[in-house]
Amino acid sequence: MKIIPIHTDAITPSIAPDDIPADGPLSDRRGREVRDLRISVTDRCNFRCVYCMPRSVFDKDYPFLPRKELLSFEEISRVARVFAARGVRKFRITGGEPLLRKHVENLIEQLAAIDGVELTLTTNGVLLPRMAQRLKNAGLHRVTISLDAIDDPTFRAMNDADYPVSDVLKGIDAAAAAGLGPVKVNMVVKRGVNDAGIVDMARHFKGSGHIVRFIEFMDVGSSNGWKMDEVVPSREVVERIDQVFPLENADPNYIGEVAERWRYRDGSGEIGVISSVTQAFCSTCTRIRLSTEGKLYTCLFAQNGHDIRDLLRRGASDEEIDSSIASVWLAREDRYSEIRTENTARQRKIEMSYIGG
Ligand code: SAM
Ligand code: SF4
Ligand code: SF4
C-alpha cells in the first residue's frame, strides 16, 4: 500500500510500509500501545492560569489560531475513528478551554457514535452550569474540572482572570446533576502559591463523591517559568493530608493509570496524586494528542508535531490516514519525564493550551 508522506516538522525515523501491521493495535519502539487520544478543540481560554497561559505572553496581541486553521468536527471525528480502529479506547476533549469552541456538543455527538470508547472532557468548569446537560445529552460520559484552590483570593490569583471559586463549584454541581460524575477535580500544586491550601482542598471534597487529584507543576511549554523548587512532590502532598485525614494506598483501577490512588481510612472517599515530575510514568504512557490545527504529538513535551490536516484536506483515504498515523506511533520513543533536567525544561516546547492538557 502507498504511504502518503505526512508533513512533519518533527524528525521522524521513517517506517517501512511492510513494518506497518495491516490491522490491530500499534506498539511504539518501547512496546507501548496507543490507547488514549486527547483532542484539543481550541487554543483559546477565558482563564489566564499563571502556570499555563501567563498573561505576560498570552496578551491581546497573542496570535491565536484563526478559525480556518482549526480542524472541523468532521475532520476530528474521522481521525478519531481511525484511531479507534487501532485500539484507542479513550477520547478526552481538551484545549485551551474546550467549552469555548462553538457547538462542541456536536463534536461530542459524533465521537459518542464511535463504539467502545470512553468519552471525557477537561474544563475549567465555569461554563458548565449552562452546558452540562447538553453535553450529557450529546453522549459525554464524564468531566474533569480544574480548580487550583478552595480559597477565593488564591484561586483568583491563579486563574488571573478574577473568576471566583463559587463559579467552578457551580460547574461541579451542574456536572454531577447532569450525570457527568463522579467528577475528578484537578489541582495543580505550585509551592509558595497554593500549596498552603492542599489540606483545605482535600477537606472540602472529602465525602462528596468527587475525587481531587493533586498534580505536580510541570515544565510544559516555554512560557511558565518552571523551576524545580516550585514543584511540591506528591509524596509531600500525601504526607500533609495523611497527618490530618489518615490515608491508605489503593490499587490502580487499570494498568497505566496516571493518578496514584489514596483512600481515606474512614471510608469517606479517595484522592489521587499525579507525579509527572518526581515519578515519571513514561514506561506506560499510551497517549497521543491531536492539536487544534491537526498536528499529532506523541508527547506532552514534544517540540514538534506531525501534520495530519493536510492529508485530510488533500482527500486521503482512511487507509492512507491510518498508515500515516501508524508510522508516527511506531516510530515513537518519547520519555521526556524520565530524562527531565533544568536544562531540558528551558527547551522550546509546544504550549499546553495549544497541544491540549
Ligand atoms: N482549560 C481546561 C482546564 O483547565 O481544565 C483544559 C485544558 S488544561 C491545559 C488541562 C489540564 O492541564 C488542567 O487540569 C490544568 O490544570 C493542567 N495544567 C496546565 N498547565 C499545567 C502545568 N504547567 N503543570 C501541570 N498541569 C498543568
Ligand atoms: Fe485555560 Fe485550562 Fe490553561 Fe487554565 S489550565 S489557562 S483554564 S487552558
Ligand atoms: Fe508520556 Fe511524554 Fe508524559 Fe512521558 S513525558 S508520560 S512520554 S507525555
> pLDDT tens across 39-71, in order?
999 999 999 999 999 999 999 999 999 999 999
| Band of pLDDT at residue 6, cut at 50, 70 and 90 | very low
Q: Does a structural domain hold residue 298? A: yes
354 lines ligand 1 (CB under 6 A): no
Give the whole-angstrom CA distance, residue 288 versus residue 308.
13
Residue 258 lies in a domain: yes
Compute, in angstroms, the gap from residue 299 CA to the centroid of ligand 1: 15
Ligand index nearest the alpha carbon of residue 300: 3
Q: According to the model, what pLDDT value does residue 137 have?
A: 98
Q: Per this entry, what is the length of the chain? A: 357
User: CA-CA distance, 258 to 296, in Å (whole number)?
Assistant: 21
Q: How far is the CA of 204 from the centre of ligand 2 (A)?
A: 22
Query: Which CATH number does the domain housing residue 203 bear?
Result: 3.20.20.70
3-class secondary structure, 310? helix
Q: Residue type at 22? A: A
Give pLDDT tens digits for 234-280: 999 999 999 999 999 999 998 778 999 999 999 999 999 999 999 98
Examine residue 332 and state whether it is found in any structural domain, yes or no: yes
For the chain, the straight-line distance linking the first and the last C-alpha, in angstroms and rounded, comes to 35
Is 60 part of a structural domain of the chain?
yes
Q: Does residue 151 form part of some domain?
A: yes
- Assess contact for 184 and 210: CB atoms under 8 A: yes
Q: In terms of Cα–Cα distance, which of 117, 268, 98, 64 is closest to 171?
A: 98
Task: Collect all residues with Cβ–Cβ distance below 8 Å to 31 and sequence separation of at least 6.
Answer: none
Task: State if residue 45 touches ligand 2 by the CB under 6 angstroms criterion.
Answer: yes
Ligand nearest to C-alpha 158:
2
Residue 291 has pLDDT above 80, yes or no: yes
> Which letter does DSSP use for residue 91 in this model?
E
> What's the alpha-carbon Rg for the chain, to the nearest Å?
20
> What's the angle, vertex CA 160, arms to CA 157 and CA 166, rounded to 5?
70
Q: Is 287 inside any structural domain? A: yes
Dig out the grid coordinates for 61 from the structure.
496581541
Taking residues 157-185, what's their average pLDDT? 97
Kindly state the cell numbers that stand for 209: 463523591
Specify the amino acid at residue 306.
H
Which residues form the domain of 323? 17-355
Please report whether residue 8 resides in a domain.
Answer: no
12, with CB counted inside 10 A (0-12, 13-18, 19+), is middle
Longest CA span, the chain? 61
Which residues contact residue 162 at a Cβ distance below 8 angstroms, ignoring those fewer than 6 apart? Answer: 156
Average pLDDT, the chain: 93
Q: Ligand 3 centre and the CA of 173: distance in Å?
A: 32
User: DSSP letter at 4?
Assistant: P
pLDDT digits (tens, 9 = 90+) for 84-117: 999 999 999 999 999 999 999 999 999 999 999 9
Structural domains in the chain (count): 1
Binding site membership of 96 for ligand 2 (Cβ less than 6 Å): yes
159 lies in a domain? yes
Indicate which ligand has the atom closest to the C-alpha of 213. Answer: 1
